[in-house]
Structure 1
Amino acid sequence: MYKKKLRGMYISKKVLKYHFDPHEAPRDTYLLCKLQWGETGTPWIHWVKNYRYHAEVKNYYYHAEAYFLEKIFKMRRSNNYVNCSITWYLSWSPCEECCCKIQNFLRKHSHVNIDIHVSRLYYIENEKNRQGLRNLMSLEKVTIAVMEIEDYTHCWKTFIQGDVDDDSWTVDFPSEIAKNRSILKDIFEDLPLIESAMPSVSCSITWVLSTTPCGKCSRKILKFLRAYPNVTLKIYAAKLFKHLDIRNQQGLRNLAMNGVIIRIMNLADYSYCWKTFVAYQHGEDDYWPWSFTSHIFLNWIELRHILLVSRHLEKTLRVKSNAKS
């Protein structure tokens, strides 16, 4: 019975509402996880919390992150040649010690990447914890973000067994989310830049993509832009790539929040690409695929919905900043 309280597949509504409320400051840390081997199949879900037990010689204590990596992941380990995507929803951000353990784990498991979403920031005034988060975020295989309202809704639908949706418990979360996101953004702005041999002139890049970037590519784009702050990027995509996958959604939000312009291609964009990138053939001077119109509109609606969260938070932060000044 004791172990069942420390980990499982589904979590109680009471625990989710209390431990993931950004206004509260509970002692324990809860970790909700989705683990995906390869690109297909149903993700495996699980939750763990801080683990304490007493032995005759020594008392043992695991933080939730360490317990998952050292105990749970071993149980689920598959073929080392298959990529593994892990998504964590944490009630507290990792401490400095857990950040080190996550780094060591990823060095040993080159096929694994981890997306971390946190409800609140753990002793964030402590410089060791801030530096631990910076060290994690500097890794190619890690993203860290504050949980959005959509993440809370996703956790309710995924980790609560057989219950109707309940949006009322997050109604007063936006102000705390905005505050924590602002703090986390300030921490990551202190990340050291990679030395570049490029001149310090501005560079504008425009991509026309057949699909939007996946979550993994979004991480790589962000790290590139952080290394080259003189570069701006615009992305025009013909369609959305697996847009129901929350990892891909969060990747697009992170890009948008960091200044990347993302658009769905319209008919004029197709015409431009035809004239710019297609070798000229007599009688084919232009290309306006009118049959794409409905698909363009549907993709535009979905992208607008995905980015709406990041725009709302950015506006909230701007209003708060103006109020303080």
Structure 2
Amino acid sequence: MQPQRLGPRAEMGPICLGCSHRRPYPPIRNPIKLYKETFYFHFKNLPYAKGRKNTFLCFEVNGKGCDLPVSLRQGVFKKEGRIHAELCFLYWLHDRILKVLSPGELKVTWYMSWSPCNRCAEQVAGFLATHHNLSLAIFSSRFYYKGDPSHQQMLCRLVQEGARMAAMDLPEFKKCWDKFAYNDGQPFTPWERLYKNFRFQDSKLQEILRPCCILGPSSYPPTPSDVCLITCLPETRFSVECSQMGWLGEEVFYLQFNNSHRVQPVQPYLCYQLEPSNGQEPHKGCLLNKKGKQHAEILFLDKMRSMELSQATITCYLTWSPCPNCAWQLAAFKKDHPDIILRIYASRLYFYWRTAFQKGLCSLWQSGIQVDVMDLPQFTDCWRNFVNPRRPFRPWNGLEKNSWRLQRRLRRIKESWGLQDLVNN
């Protein structure tokens, strides 16, 4: 076992639940499987679930560098007296595996009927901070007190200590049914509105976890901010591959990037992908601003200048085309960095009939920045890179017609200012 070390935020919890528990605790029993009725009742991902006062935790443990016995690889925990299922698992893991087998790297996956409460999340985070050979992925059917700021902060703390979190979708429910339920060989039968409920739970989780992607691990606890920088930092060790989550939720994307003629009030979002010329991995991020604060384009420029780029290709997807001030600053950045290829695609045109806004667009073209309206290929690419790469993009009614209409307006603006000869690179 790797030596236990005091993590950067381990002062919020015990160094090791097993080692620091001074009083003898009752033996932790882990039932092997769930009854069918228990599974369907407790794992149903309802937005508001009543009468489900227990939490069931189905786990998988895989070891790298050691061969775990079959009996230790998977099981089910529930609340034992006053000890919640999460802490039951940690006591069991400490006594049955960490103290006995001295394994190398351990990969643990939880499938939970409820996400951890704030006290359990704090204890689990402290455990992760002192056991660096342990990685934890948590799939939750529902999120416990998702509107409570204290619970939200503790879920963020879990992610900042390396835990990966996601809402349970159909594949996870099927896996739980096959591995952890007495199913009598019957296939899993999805309940009504399972997928719609998943989208609701998934969007709530993304709202909760957004601050930890903004601030990084050293900024706990998160504080409210009028300007949000939504970009997953390497230090958070947050992985998209084990979840359906991207930078934007599906409902957020369909609302904010919808290019219909009449839309609900939309916030200015800017999603960017930077491809360095040296062959390194692309860098992605998403920014938004709120009224009275710096615009997303200015935050984007601050980010680019801090990276000291020389050559790169940058593609930006915006909900609105830039205002005059942002356009001029983008143009100045391009002139200062002639070797950077910058492409801007906007879902809608912002005050396109006003002269100042048209001049701003002209300054972008004249500086060599490609400016265009998002069409189906751009919406699809934005979806794949910033929303959900595992699910296909479903266009809304009139998407291509609206794009064609906006492209025609943009072309007329270009022609009215005598810039029709400027061709996008």
TM range (shorter): 0.5 to 0.7
Q: C-alpha distance in 2, partners of 1:4/1:108?
A: 23
Match of 2:165 in 1: 144
Q: C-alpha distance in 2, partners of 1:137/1:186?
A: 13
Moved more, 83-92 or 30-39: 30-39
> Equivalent of 2:55, from 9, 29, 37?
29
TM alignment of 1:1-325, pairs within 5 A: 7-23=30-46, 24-25=49-50, 26-38=52-64, 44-52=73-81, 61-77=82-98, 78-80=100-102, 82-139=104-161, 141-161=162-182, 163-191=184-212, 192-194=214-216, 222-224=232-234, 250=242, 253-254=244-245, 310-311=390-391
Question: Counterpart of 1:18 in structure 2: which amino acid?
Answer: F
Instruction: Measure how far apart 1:165 and its partner are.
Output: 3.6
Instruction: Measure how far apart 1:315 and its partner are.
Output: 5.6
Q: C-alpha distance in 1, partners of 2:148/2:240?
A: 32
Q: C-alpha distance in 2, partners of 1:311/1:80?
A: 40
Which structure 2 segments of 5+ residues have no match? 1-25, 218-230, 250-270, 274-383, 398-425
Q: Point out the structure with the larger helix share.
A: 1
Change (3 A) 1:163 1:33: same
Change (3 A) 1:256 1:122: closer
Change (3 A) 1:223 1:171: farther
Cα displacement string for residues 10-39 of structure 1 (whole angstroms, at most 9, x for unaligned residues): 211111111100123300000000011116
Cα displacement string for residues 80-128 of structure 1 (whole angstroms, at most 9, x for unaligned residues): 4500111000100111111110011112221111100000010111110
TM-score, L = length of structure 1: 0.57
Q: C-alpha distance in 2, partners of 1:194/1:309?
A: 24
Q: C-alpha distance in 1, partners of 2:118/2:247?
A: 28
Query: Are 1:29 and 1:64, in contact at CA under 8 Å, matched by a contact in 2?
Result: yes
Q: C-alpha distance in 1, partners of 2:248/2:65?
A: 26
Change (3 A) 1:21 1:7: same
Q: C-alpha distance in 1, partners of 2:174/2:146?
A: 25
Aligned-residue identity in percent: 20
Instruction: Measure how far apart 1:6 and its partner are.
Output: 6.0
Change (3 A) 1:222 1:157: farther
What SS does the aligned partner of 1:89 have? Answer: strand
Change (3 A) 1:308 1:99: closer
Instruction: Measure how far apart 1:180 and its partner are.
Output: 0.8
Question: Counterpart of 2:141 in structure 1: which amino acid?
Answer: S
What SS does the aligned partner of 1:250 have? Answer: coil
Cα displacement string for residues 287-318 of structure 1 (whole angstroms, at most 9, x for unaligned residues): xxxxxxxxxxxxxxxxx9xx988426x769x9
Q: C-alpha distance in 2, partners of 1:160/1:4?
A: 23
What SS does the aligned partner of 1:10 have? Answer: coil
Match of 1:240 in 2: none
Change (3 A) 1:79 1:122: same
Which structure would you say has the larger Rg? Answer: 2
Q: CA RMSD of the aligned region, Å?
A: 3.8
Which structure 1 segments of 5+ residues have no match? 53-60, 196-220, 228-246, 262-303, 320-325
Match of 1:267 in 2: none
Q: How many residues align?
A: 217
Query: Are 1:148 and 1:309, in contact at CA under 8 Å, matched by a contact in 2?
Result: no
